Amino acid sequence: MLLIAHRGYSGKAPENTMAAFRMALAAGAKALELDVHQTKDGRLAVLHDWNLKRVAGKRRRVAAMTWSELGAVDVGGWFSSRFHGERVPLLEEVLDLARGRAQVHVELKAGSGKYPGIEERAARILDERGAWNWAMVSSFDHAALKRIRKISPKARIGYLLGPAFFPKAWRETAVLRAESLNISVRQATARSVRSAHERGLKVFVYTVNDAKTLSRMRRLGVDGVYTNFPEMKAA
Ligand code: G3P
Ligand code: CA
């Protein structure tokens, strides 16, 4: 079972920073997960939230900032003074760090409805790096996944289920030629895992941060878990 470093080694370093990704790789993580938003001037920035309130104490929305504004913000100090000065990475930087060392699960936090052109930009960045062999794109925004599939026949797609219900997910994952069904711990049951596997889908589960749940996921036979502690051992 693959342990995917959720937002990097986010249990020990500020999430979605180069420090967190470097730490995950140094700990031997074979896969990294990250979140993507788009700046006002069309750069793909790696952070989880729509605004900077939680990680920088600022009420500014990513969509309303240019990359030069966003890239100058400290997003490490909130976690510990040791990480003061960590910046929001670009998607390209994390991919270049991970190349040849780990798979990357790229989660688009929204598609073109909110961030015009984000799918084309993400696909181009992945294409330019020949990254589809070691990276995949996921989203709760299934329209974004459809655009990714249309743009790139080579795309590897993870279908984040969210509150959608399973029959719809089975239909959409087939149309998308998705590689995986990405579900929450609560949605991971013997039945859902079996149904996904019967359809040829891998199952990735978020977010598993304790040994007991990790053991349960192993027993269920899931293919991977997103965890803030990629060195964690099952109970
Ligand atoms: O991709 C799985 C997981 O990361 C989705 O939830 O809120 O941590 O992005 P969130
Ligand atoms: Ca995520």
- Average pLDDT of the segment spanning 151-168: 93
Q: What is the pTM of this model?
A: 0.98
Whole-number Å distance between alpha carbons of 151 and 153: 7
Residue 140 alpha carbon, nearest atom of ligand 1: 5
- Which ligand 1 atom is at minimum distance from the Cα of 204? 2
Instruction: Give distance in angstroms: CA of 151 to centre of ligand 1.
Output: 24
Mean pLDDT of the chain: 97
What's the 16 CA to ligand 2 centre distance in angstroms? Answer: 10
CA of 140 to the centre of ligand 2 (A): 10
When pLDDT is averaged across residues 184-210 and rounded to a whole number, the result is 98
Q: Where are the domains of the chain?
A: 2-51+89-227
Yes or no: domain 2-51+89-227 corresponds to CATH 3.20.20.190: yes
Catalytic (active site) residue 84 = no
| Residue of 6, 37, 105, 142 marked active site | 6
pLDDT at 198 over 80: yes
| Interval 179-208 mean pLDDT | 98
* Residue 197 bears catalytic tag: no
The band of 94, judged by pLDDT with boundaries at 50, 70 and 90, is: very high
- The answer, yes or no, to whether residue 164 has pLDDT greater than 80, is no
Using H for helix, E for strand and C for coil, what is the string for the chain?
Answer: CEEEEECCCCCCCCCCCHHHHHHHHHCCCCEEEEEEEECCCCCEEECCCCECHHHHCCCCEHHHCCHHHHCCCCCCCCCCHHHCCCCCCEHHHHHHHHCCCCEEEEEECCCCCCCCCHHHHHHHHHHHCCHHHCEEEEECCHHHHHHHHHHCCCCCEEEECCCCCHHHHHHHHHHHCCCEEEEECCCCCHHHHHHHHHCCCEEEEECCCCHHHHHHHHHHCCCEEEECCCCCCCC
Residue 181 has pLDDT above 80, yes or no: yes
Measured from the Cα of 107, ligand 1's closest atom is 1
Among protein residues, the one with the nearest Cα to ligand 1's atom 6 is 206
Q: Ligand 1, atom 7: nearest CA belongs to which residue?
A: 48
Residues having CB within 6 Å of any atom of ligand 1: 6, 33, 35, 48, 107, 138, 160, 182, 206-207, 226
Ligand nearest to the CA of 34: 2
